[in-house]
Amino acid sequence: MVYLAAAAQHNDLAKVRAEKPELWRHVRRYNQPVQLALAAADEVMRFSENPSTAAVISLAPCQPGSADLYRWGNVVTAGMATGTLGNLRMNPTQTLHAVDNLAMSAFAIAHANHAYCLGLGGAAGQAWCGLEAVHERLNGLEEEALLMAGDQDAAEDGSPGLGVALLFSTRAKPYQPLDRTVRLVSVARSRKIVDVVPHAANGLAALLSSIAQHRSGLLSYVVPPEHTDGFSTVTVTLEIS
């Protein structure tokens, strides 16, 4: 059995900076999607029995990088065209902003986590692959799994972002915001071509919203087409006590 134990969402880095200075010191070098994902993960791991042994499944942003990185990228592409790059240097912090598995690595360092890890890339609909992976791992391999994602509307201009984290457990714990158990029953797919809006975190946020609105019993959540990978209809079935 796989249960949703806790979930958190963050979209306000100023609040993280003001209210969690220790966390901010840890994440301040990173780009916005990573900062938001780690802030959400930090919150849900308070409910973990052992953060160092939980499986970690992390979604890379569909809009990677940062405004600084994109500005630097523009300098490079202009120099590439004119052959004038010479001894141009890159700020190592901006190098980090290009790394797609950064949130997973930073989480592992913060929580001394050496457990199973799966980084999923910044393509549309990978959130549901992450949910499938949670189901696989908690079927006899681990007892807890973290699924986290951070993304932004666009990287070039510092536009809004969202971080989401979900903690799953094999134990029937009450899901914290509702104080009821939420069991992940299945993730099912059928082939269908649709248009998508790639974003690592929005799909999971919409799922959490649907859980919050459901009273009890089986919830058959049909993922909105724009949150899928473009080739599947995805149905997530949950049982809420």
| Strand, coil or helix: 156 | coil
Among 17, 24, 47, 136, binds another protein (CB under 8 A): 136
Cβ–Cβ under 8 Å, residues 174 and 240? no
Q: Does 198 bind another protein (CB under 8 A)?
A: yes
Q: State yes or no: residue 191 binds another protein (CB under 8 A).
A: yes
Residue 33 as a binder of another protein (CB under 8 A): the answer is: no
Stretch that binds another protein, among 6-14, 94-102, 165-173, 216-224 (CB under 8 A): 94-102
Contact 56, 108 (CB under 8 A): yes
Considering the complex, state which of residue 91 and residue 209 has its C-beta at the smaller distance from another protein. 91
- Orientation of helix 102-111 relative to helix 32-44, angle to 10°: 40
Q: Is position 115 an interface residue for another protein (rule: CB under 8 A)?
A: yes
Pick left, alpha or beta for residue 171 (phi over 0 → left; psi -120 to 50 → alpha; otherwise beta): beta
User: Phi and psi at residue 145, in whole multiples of 5°?
Assistant: -145, 135
Q: Which residues bind another protein (CB under 8 A)?
A: 56, 58, 60, 62, 64-65, 73, 76-77, 79-81, 83-92, 94-96, 98-102, 104-106, 108-109, 111-124, 126, 129, 132-133, 136, 189, 191, 196, 198, 229-232
